[in-house]
Structure 1
Amino acid sequence: MKLKNFGFLLFAIFFGVAPRLSWADGGSMQDIRRLVVSGLGPGAMGATPGSSMVSLYGTVDIGLDYTRGEQGSSKRVLSNNAWTSKVGLYGEEYLGEGWSAYFRLEAGFNPDTGAMQSASSFFNRGSYVGISNKEWGSLSLGKQLSGATALAIGADPFLATGHQSIYSYLAAYRDLGYGASVDSNRINDSISYSSPIIAGSLGFNAFYALKGLPGSGPKTHNRAVSMFYSGGKTFASVSLSQNWCDPIATSTTPCISDNIVEPTVRTDNFLVSAMQDFGPFTGSAVYMQTRPQSPGSATAKLYLLGAQKLVGRHLLRATVGYRGTSIAGNHAWGLTVGDDYYLSKRTALYGRWGTLRNGPNSSLTYNYEAANKFPAPSVGGVVSGFTVGITHHF
């Protein structure tokens, strides 16, 4: 079975597939991945040799949330807490002699209002087509995750969801200085090549994305190289990506200050992650460094530790993270804990609690909602949130 898209390749290695749902109190990666994989959609494990198909799939996630920050508190119906709600089309065609073609079109939406997540891109969560071969690897073009971004998401037990994942907020960059940029979403105009699995455990991805409006600076707004090792109960990865803001980007890496000089400023991002199956539980660790190359800019370093354990139908998860920068007092730490109670392999009730505590010169927020701009960032502030909800995959 060949893995085609590198983002799904990494998710599959972390959370692969299994023929049946296990309620065993094992807590190992094998137990955990049997539950999580249903949210990835079809094709996550690659084309089935000799088969062709088209499938409609998706996720609906919604809950009740209470969040408190320095600016007050809020009670709200909130979408996309444990998973991002989405609807997608996936298709593949077997071409013979080991070759398969595939595509994915995936759009995010907010179940609380029915509105699409993006006003500028209907298929904001994926729009790509590619070709794959077990011996030669895979090549895909379109709007997709880079290898570096997929590694970062896969290393977080909460999969970097937009509300209840401390990683999503500690991986900040806009306070680092002029020209700082990080591609943390699906990337437009991109080309991704993933190698076949080498020696049974090694693989790499090369990624390159063109700017929507070339002119100032290089033609690319993202280029990355990622490598991983997967051996039994151990997974380890390393990636280096370089980013430039794109003058016409809206949801990926827009230029904050200007569209002339800022697109010439490079930001380097370095990521190392590891996941280990300890038997009773699965542990993970992440180190990420973000370094803009403009004069006088600051460097950020993020450290993340996570743990997951399956107890009966309960998937228990916890993540603690610390972000420090080269700016005095600009540091923050936070954590997210959660419990997913699986009614079936596709439906779960969940609870999340998290908090973020800023240093005296830090103003990060947590569980932010753009619709009402709450909770607003506050220098030295503390933000905490609690959510209960339901997720269904189809």
Structure 2
Amino acid sequence: MRHRHWLSLGCLTALLSPLPAAAQSHVSINGLVDVGIYRGFDGTAQAGTIQRSNLAIAGWEDLGGGLKATFRLSARFDIDTGRMEDQGSKPFWHDESTVGLQGGFGHLRMGRALSAMWSQDWKFDPWANFNRISSPAWYQWHYLTPTDRYSNNGAAEYGRMANGLFYDSPTFGGFTLHLSASPERTEAPLTLRREGRGYSASLNYDSDSLSGMLAFERNGSGDRDTFAAAKYRFGAAAVMAAWDYSRVAQTALSAKAVTLGATYQVGATTLKAGYGRQTMQEQTNHFYSLGADYALSKRSTLYASIGRKSYEYGVDSGTSFGVGMAHAF
């Protein structure tokens, strides 16, 4: 009986002894589901995604000492057909596929993601560079400089860098630095040659009322893009302006774009207006747009958009308008 007593006491002591703390971790599923009915600039009636739908799985694990391991997998899809966006040309995890470390030094990731410039520029467009009807940014920024000319099975990729390193600094006095680069040379499949290495940098400033950005990007083909933007918020209103200069390395072709935007919130409704002017060689293109978002809740929005392309030589000119619904989760 005495042996049983000591055995039971030993088991109880072991159960009550402090155990090593389990590492905290968190995984979430989030994204945006968007669908609408609209008339394209070519006059064709369409039903489908206006602001692009995406599904993301993201998470982190606390490694201790203020250090976290992170990951993000994000895919884009067309809700009207259920297919992946541009299925067959773009990779499945087209939006992002990264793993990284985050701490007091900032956030370092590896994989495929938006370049430093593209990951920050959306703040300076009323439609967050994310509306195929009314976003001036969508049609006029970075016009001649895709981040990679060949990464989508030989087709150009505007915005995302594959085989990349991505760094976001801590904030110092309102300033943050964002960097991206690839250690691999760009492959040009049509000519069977290897080109240069792409890189991008963005310096951003944010305060309660004022935001600004200065960025530069060079892709592996040598094309270059310089971007500057600012936004000022006062009360329920915000005004913003951006300037972009893109140029092709192998030719003298270049494009300059200046865009203006404004938003004004009245209760659950946000009114939007945009304008863009693009000059490319001897051609000048204008873009005008209006829109309104109505917040059904923090996550669900009804919206209406209208855009007008006015191109100097008439090609691709037209008016597009539509209504849609978006739900973030």
Distance 1:173 1:234 in 2: 27
Question: Is 1:76 aligned to 2:46, yes or no?
Answer: yes
Residues of 1 paired with 2:175 and 2:81: CA distance? 44
> Using the alignment, how far apart are the partners of 1:282 and 1:356 within structure 2?
24
**Structure 1 residues 172 and 139, CA gap change in structure 2 (3 angstroms):** closer
Distance (Å, rounded) in 2 between the aligned partners of 1:309 and 1:216: 50
State the TM-score, normalized to the length of structure 1: 0.70
Q: What secondary structure sits across from 1:147 in the alignment? A: coil
Work out the CA distance in 1 between the residues paired with 2:41 and 2:70: 44
Equivalent of residue 186 in structure 1, options 123, 144, 160: 160
| Residue identity in the other structure for 1:100 | K
Q: Which AA in structure 1 matches 2:247?
A: R
TM-aligned CA deviation for residue 212 of structure 1: 5.5
Tell me the alpha carbon deviations over residues 169-205 of structure 1, each in whole angstroms, 9 at most, x when there is no partner.
1236359xxx99986322211101122112x311212
- Are 1:168 and 2:145 counterparts? no
Aligned residue among 312, 323, 329 for 1:388:
323
Q: Which has the higher contact order (CA 8 A, sep 6+)?
A: 1
- Pair 184,154 (structure 1): closer, same or farther in 2 beyond 3 Å: farther
What is the CA distance between 1:150 and its match in structure 2? 1.8
Structure 1 residue aligned with 2:237: 281
Structure 2 residue aligned with 1:126: 96
Extract structure 1 runs of 4+ deviating beyond 6 A. 179-182
3-state SS, counterpart of residue 289 of structure 1: strand
Give the superposition deviation at 1:269. 0.4
Paired residues, number: 294
Match of 1:205 among 153, 167, 178: 178
Partner of 1:251: none
Shift of 1:78: 2.0
> CA, structure 1 residues 240+314, in 2 after alignment: closer, same or farther (shift >3 Å)?
same
What is the distance in 1 between the residues matched to 2:311 and 2:112?
34
- The one-letter amino acid paired with 1:102 is T
CA contact (8 A) 2:136 2:259 kept: no
> Is residue 343 of structure 1 aligned with residue 278 of structure 2?
no
Give 3-state SS (helix, strand or coil) of 2:117's partner: helix
CA distance in 1, matches of 2:126, 2:24: 33
> For residue 320 of structure 1, what is the aligned residue in structure 2?
275
Q: Secondary structure at the match of 2:128?
A: coil
Please say if residues 182 and 243 of structure 1, whose CA atoms lie closer than 8 Å, have aligned partners that are also in contact: no
C-alpha deviations, 1:192-226, integer Å up to 9, x for none?
1122112x311212210234538745441x21121
Unaligned runs of 5+ in 2: 1-22
Residues 75 and 218 of structure 1: CA distance in aligned 2, closer, same or farther (over 3 Å): closer
How much does 1:291 deviate? 1.7
Q: Structure 1 counterpart of 2:233, which letter? A: D
Deviation, 1:160, is 1.4
SS of the residue corresponding to residue 37 of structure 2 reads: strand
Instruction: Measure, in 1, the Cα distance between the counterparts of 2:167 and 2:195.
Output: 21
Pair 95,142 (structure 1): closer, same or farther in 2 beyond 3 Å: same
- CA-CA distance at 1:162 after TM superposition: 5.3
Counterpart AA for 1:142: G
Q: Is the 8 A contact 1:146 1:224 kept in 2?
A: yes
Identify the match of residue 66 of structure 2 among 94, 98, 123. 98
1:1-394 paired onto structure 2 within 5 Å: 51-69=24-42, 73-79=43-49, 81=50, 83-117=51-85, 118-119=87-88, 120-134=90-104, 136-161=105-130, 163-164=132-133, 165-171=135-141, 173=143, 184-198=158-172, 200-209=173-182, 210-211=184-185, 213=187, 216=193, 218-220=195-197, 222-245=198-221, 266-295=222-251, 297-325=252-280, 327-328=281-282, 330-360=283-313, 379-394=314-329
Residues 304-329 of structure 1 show CA distances to partners (whole Å, capped at 9, x for unaligned) of 1111111111011111110012x22x
Sequence identity of aligned pairs in percent?
Answer: 26
Counterpart of 1:89 in 2: which secondary structure?
A: strand
2:40 aligned counterpart, secondary structure: strand
Structure 2 counterpart of 1:54, one-letter code: V
AA in 2 matched with 1:384: T
What is the aligned partner in structure 2 of residue 47 from structure 1?
A: none
Query: In the aligned structure 2, how far is the partner of 1:242 from the partner of 1:174?
Result: 11
Equivalent residue of 1:115, what SS? coil
Q: Give the strand-richer structure, 1 or 2.
A: 2
Partner Cα separation in structure 2 for residue 275 and residue 383 of structure 1: 29
Task: Report the equivalent of 2:13.
Answer: none
